[in-house]
Amino acid sequence: MAKAGAKSGGSGNKGLKRKAATEEPQEAAVAEDGTTESRVQPSKAAAFPPGFSVSEIKNKQRRHLMFTRWKQQQRKEKLAAKKKLKKEREALGDKAPPKPIPKTIDNQRVYDETTVDPNDEEVAYDEATDEFASYFNRQTSPKILITTSDRPHGRTVRLCEQLSTVIPNSHVYYRRGLALKKIIPQCISRDFTDLIVINEDRKIPNGLILSHLPNGPTAHFKMSSVRLRKEIKRRGKDPTEHIPEIILNNFTTRLGHSVGRMFASLFPHNPQFIGRQVATFHNQRDYIFFRFHRYIFKSEKKVGIQELGPRFTLKLRSLQKGTFDSKYGEYEWVHKPREMDTSRRKFHL
């Protein structure tokens, strides 16, 4: 009974409200020479002359009611405006103005002055003679050592194994609590060109240190969203021994170029297209997404991809000039959150 009462009271309220609302706009319309449509503006007209807003109603139920009504009104108006615009576009046909492009953070990106111009000779010379020159001149072929932080747990171990199937000519070694500074000279003497250390925290891998060996830069990444092979849905069969193709997307700035070249130097220079495998490093908003796919050629023109190996996301924390020496090494670039992350539209890679 009370409920019914309340309901009737509520609907009565609504009815009352409606009446009041419809009464008011008529008055308002009369007052304003009836330029407003009485249909469209009941709540607006109600807000108009008294200067009251929905948020000033103290009763929560009534306030919620007024708000939902206002929202429905807005939605209707928006739909009507869209239809009108569409009609106008169709009416104009070819002469219609181009559709406005929505603003996204990527296309509002602050122009970075370090963006590499492909015709720039100085940067070209710098890149032609940097630490990766011997790889890009086909003088050395990569040999990678993959290891982890001390005492890795299952996920990290499995990630290392899967990475070693993805990266050709790579070897996984157990890190027996050895210091990296002692491992590095031994690697150099055994002709390794790169060292990957996967750091682990609380049983999940969360960091990656990539060090180019003879005396090359060391990059330290934060690793997140690691998915091992069995966690990937609709994946293909395990990768084969073919050398994959590499795709490096969107590494535009000078720093991005250096990091991109580091990734490129992990893989041998001669991709075997017969294996149809491709490793992608896609940079977007300073996050680097790693994916490993296989092409499936369904017909002459239709191609599909199936995801194979592990996937993870990297974010660069620092790029250090020599081999791993976090205390005394010189840094080319260090990520400083309070200085560099102030703008949502500025990216560094």
Partner 1 sequence: MAAAAARWNHVWVGTDTGILKGVNLQRKQAANFTPSGQPRREEAVSALCWGAGGETQILVGCADGTVKNFSTEEGRFQGQRHCSGGEGIFRGLAQVDGTLITCVDSGILRVWHDNDKEASSDPLLELRVGPGVCRMRQDPARPHMVATGGKENALKVWDLQGSEEPVFRAKNVRNDWLDLRVPIWDQDIQFLPESQKLVTCTGYHQVRVYDPASPQRRPVLEATYGEYPLTAMTLTPGGNSVIVGNTHGQLAEIDLRQGRLLVCLKGLAGSVRGLQCHPSKPLLASCGLDRVLRVHRIRNPRGLDHKVYLKSQLNCLLLSGRDNWEDEPHEPQEPNKVPSEDTETDELWASLEAAAKRKLPDLEQSQGALQTRQRKKKRPGSTSS
Q: What is the closest distance, in whole angstroms, from the C-beta atom of residue 323 to partner 1 in the complex? A: 15
CB-based contact 187:196 (threshold 8 Å): no
Report if residue 334 touches partner 1, rule: CB under 8 A: yes
- The footprint of partner 1 on residues 164-203 (CB under 8 A) is none
Does 286 bind partner 1 (CB under 8 A)? Our answer is: no
Q: Site size for partner 1, by CB under 8 A?
A: 21
Minimum gap (Å) between residue 132 Cβ and partner 1:
14
Bridge partners, residue 201, by sequence: 204
Kindly write out the interface string for residues 196-235 of this chain, putting x where it contacts partner 1 by CB under 8 A and - elsewhere.
----------------------------------------
- Which residue, among 246, 276, 273, 238, has the nearest Cα to 262 in the 3D structure? 246
Classified as helix, coil or strand, 282 is: strand
* 257 binds partner 1, rule: CB under 8 A: no
Q: Which one of 220, 254, 261, 311 is in contact with partner 1 (CB under 8 A)?
A: 254
300 vs 330, beta carbon nearer partner 1: 330
Answer positive or negative: Cα dihedral of 27, 28, 33, 39: negative
343 scored as a contact of partner 1 (CB under 8 A)? no
The region of 39-47, 143-151, 155-163, 329-337 touching partner 1 under the rule CB under 8 A is 329-337
Site for partner 1 in 51-110 (CB under 8 A): none
Distance between CA atoms of residues 112 and 124, nearest Å: 18
Tokens of 104: 């996204």
Helix (H) or strand (E) holding 145: strand 144-148
Backbone angles phi, psi at 206, to 5 degrees: -135, 0
Structure tokens, 330: 């010189």
Tell me, residue by residue from 113 to 142, as one string, x for binding to partner 1 by CB under 8 A and - for no binding.
Answer: xx-----x-xx-xx--x-------------
d(CA 40, CA 42): 6
- Nearest distance, CB of residue 320 and partner 1, angstroms: 9
329 binds partner 1 (CB under 8 A): yes
SS3 55: helix
Shortest Cβ distance from residue 255 to partner 1 (Å)? 8
- Spatial neighbors of 40 by CB under 8 A, at least 6 apart, are 73, 77
Q: Which residues pair with 268 in a beta bridge?
A: none
Chain positions contacting partner 1, by CB under 8 A:
113-114, 120, 122-123, 125-126, 129, 254, 321, 327-334, 336, 339-340
